[in-house]
Structure 1
Amino acid sequence: MVRILSADAVRDLLSLTELFPVVEEAFVKQGRGEVERPPRPHFPVGIGVDDIRDGIDNLGEMGDGVQSNSPLGTALTMPAYIHGRTVYATKLAAVHPDNTTHGLPTVNAQVALTDSTTGLPLGFFDGNTITSARTGCIGGLAAEYLTADPIRLGVIGAGTQARWQTRAIATGSDVESVRIYSPSDSREACAADLRDEGLPAEAVDSPDEAVADANVVVTATTSSDPVFDGGLLEPGALVVAVGAYTAEMQELDATTFDRAARVFADVPEEVADIGDVRAAGLSESDLVPLSEVFEGVVGRDSDEEILVVESVGSAVLDAATAEYLYEKARERGVGEDVGL
């Protein structure tokens, strides 16, 4: 039997407080090489097919589409196994940046959980919430380890990940203020949602306002150009960039890297290939594995240092999060068991 966990079930089971040590341990295992994490292929999809999104209404009904001669999105396959565990996971993800104009999520994902001792399928989970929560924990843990309270948070981007980054940072640190900028009106809705959760969030009209006086800056966009001026960063600021994952995507400018004392990366060999790092002329050898922060090997040497954390996402974190959810779902009897 395969346990199905819907988005609602995943959200009901997830606790960021519980997930922090799960993600931290997964990073440490990854840093020690105690994982299997094959290269994750990503490839364009939706070339030469009808873009049916123009015909999708809120009820999910499809109408006639318009043929697209360029990719409509990017598909990714992300498998991982942590040594000593009785399960492994494979995430199937898709990123469609134009979905927001159609009222659809930019990122869609599913996670398949498999028994590592028999190869039998165990679970099939909503991957959107898993991705958002484990990525949020990266920013939350980085802020906890590398920034002193209180946090003055500036967020560039106002989508799902902007919300999760803010929630996670507030889980591990005392957040004094949150300023959110996006070029769209979504910044107002994002700030309102976070205020409803008890967070001191406000929308601002420019990236300069979001970054000014912030000691933590989060970028959570799909931009191909830098989203703020690195010259505006306050001494001692921590920058957490989670949006770019290809050579064509870029959130940070060269000034940010020039001013940074260290650049941490969740997966250095993959971060070295994204637009942020390539535009700054950095290579894998210039990047410090984020796992070393959690092992106490390296961190902040002074209150004035500017630090950067670059994240492209690791399937190891998906595997750890899915295992945590599966065990918790079994304990609580959550989810639906189906036969294949």
Structure 2
Amino acid sequence: MHVFDDDAVAALLAFDELLGVVERAFLKQGRGEVERPDRPHFSVGEGLDGRAEPAGTGLAMPAYVHGDPAYATKLASVFPGNVDPGVDRPTVQAQVLLTDAANGAPLALFAGERITNARTGCIGGLAARELTAGAGPVDLAVIGAGQQARWQTRAIDAARGVDRARIYSPTPESRAECAADLRGEGIAAEAVDSAETAVRGADAVVTTTTSEVPVFPGEALADGALVIAVGAYEASMRELDHATFARADRVFADVPEEVAAIGDVVDNDVDPARLTPLSAVFEGEAGRASAEEVIVVESVGSAVLDTATANYLWGEASGEDRADIAF
């Protein structure tokens, strides 16, 4: 079995190719041509060193895309205490184990953080490519200044082009650092001092936070704006307000049955029947009807994207031709 650390994953991964890989995974998921069991999660660390409460959560996320040479299981952990001073570790860590679908042989173990970040970025990139009004590079607002803020901006730039990006986070240092990092990659980015300033006039708005309260006023959205919300993934999390959904003409979801349970939907009394699978956009069955429509895309992520990405990386590493893998 081959082991790929983060540097090795970075050397293999290219956004131009990964966007197509993720699009195919969405199409397969929408057609029911995947295996995606429920992901078990469990508390860990209780009783360790006398600890009375769990230290974190472990998750196993298996999936298989029909026709792919291998299936994958992502092993993830969420340790909120890693943000404490003196703890130099990310809050979310992951590894992806790839197994031969024909004979069960273990093929590879990949460092998983970059896989998760990149495939999640591609959700925003594809949404911006297909659903942003007009043509050409977009005027982008990014709420949040962590790693996913950077990955969303990179992916949207790769998929559609970014004319400029306005970055807002409540912490001045973090938004300034994020904007500086993106400028270092050739993306015109600036830090701004309020969410409303970031959002007003933007073609696309991306939210990348773990907030429990709305992170920008929906009234500030321009007519025709696209909102891509990737931060909220459980009932306690909420990034969007009532006004955003009141203005939204269409609401797309990467996994509608799971998006229906997050705070954005539940707390805003959004009818789950409004949630159209994002795969329908790539099938050509749904999309933007006019330049004035406000569109919302909600994402909670899917292990299907992890297994598709791991198959792509293994193909790159082993030199296998993926040209015969059909959409």
TM-score (norm 1): 0.88
Partner of residue 303 from structure 2, selected from 315, 320, 327:
315
Which residue number in structure 1 is paired with residue 323 of structure 2? Answer: none
The aligned amino acid for 2:211 is S
Distance 2:52 2:114 in 1: 29
Kept after mapping to 2: 8 A contact 1:97/1:222: no
- In the TM superposition, residue 49 of structure 1 has moved relative to its aligned partner by 4.6
Asked if 1:86 corresponds to 2:69, the answer is yes
Which residue number in structure 2 is paired with residue 262 of structure 1? Answer: 250
Q: Percent identity?
A: 61
Which residue number in structure 2 is paired with residue 181 of structure 1? Answer: 168
Asked if 1:155 corresponds to 2:154, the answer is no
Runs of 4+ that moved beyond 6 A:
none
- In the TM superposition, residue 99 of structure 1 has moved relative to its aligned partner by 2.7
CA deviation profile, 1:238-266 (whole Å, cap 9, x unmatched) = 11111111111111112111111111000
Any unmatched runs of 5+ in structure 2? 321-327
Kept after mapping to 2: 8 A contact 1:250/1:275: yes
**Count of residues in correspondence between the two structures:** 315
RMSD value over aligned CA atoms? 1.7
Which residue number in structure 2 is paired with residue 166 of structure 1? Answer: 153
Distance 2:270 2:9 in 1: 38
Distance 1:33 1:134 in 2: 20
Kept after mapping to 1: 8 A contact 2:265/2:272: no
Distance 1:328 1:317 in 2: 17
Larger CA deviation: 72-81 vs 84-93:
72-81
The aligned amino acid for 1:80 is A
- In the TM superposition, residue 283 of structure 1 has moved relative to its aligned partner by 4.1
CA deviation profile, 1:210-247 (whole Å, cap 9, x unmatched) = 11111111011111111111111111111111111111
Partner of residue 275 from structure 1, selected from 247, 263, 279:
263
The aligned amino acid for 1:209 is T
Partner of residue 209 from structure 1, selected from 183, 197, 201:
197
Distance 1:251 1:44 in 2: 26
Which residue number in structure 1 is paired with residue 294 of structure 2? Answer: 306
- In the TM superposition, residue 98 of structure 1 has moved relative to its aligned partner by 4.5
Distance 2:46 2:177 in 1: 33
- In the TM superposition, residue 45 of structure 1 has moved relative to its aligned partner by 3.9
CA deviation profile, 1:125-167 (whole Å, cap 9, x unmatched) = 0110000000000000000001133311111111111100000
Distance 1:203 1:43 in 2: 38
Structure-to-structure mapping, 1:319-334, within 5 angstroms: 319-331=307-319
Kept after mapping to 2: 8 A contact 1:23/1:320: yes
Asked if 1:75 corresponds to 2:58, the answer is yes
Asked if 1:96 corresponds to 2:87, the answer is no
Asked if 1:107 corresponds to 2:114, the answer is no
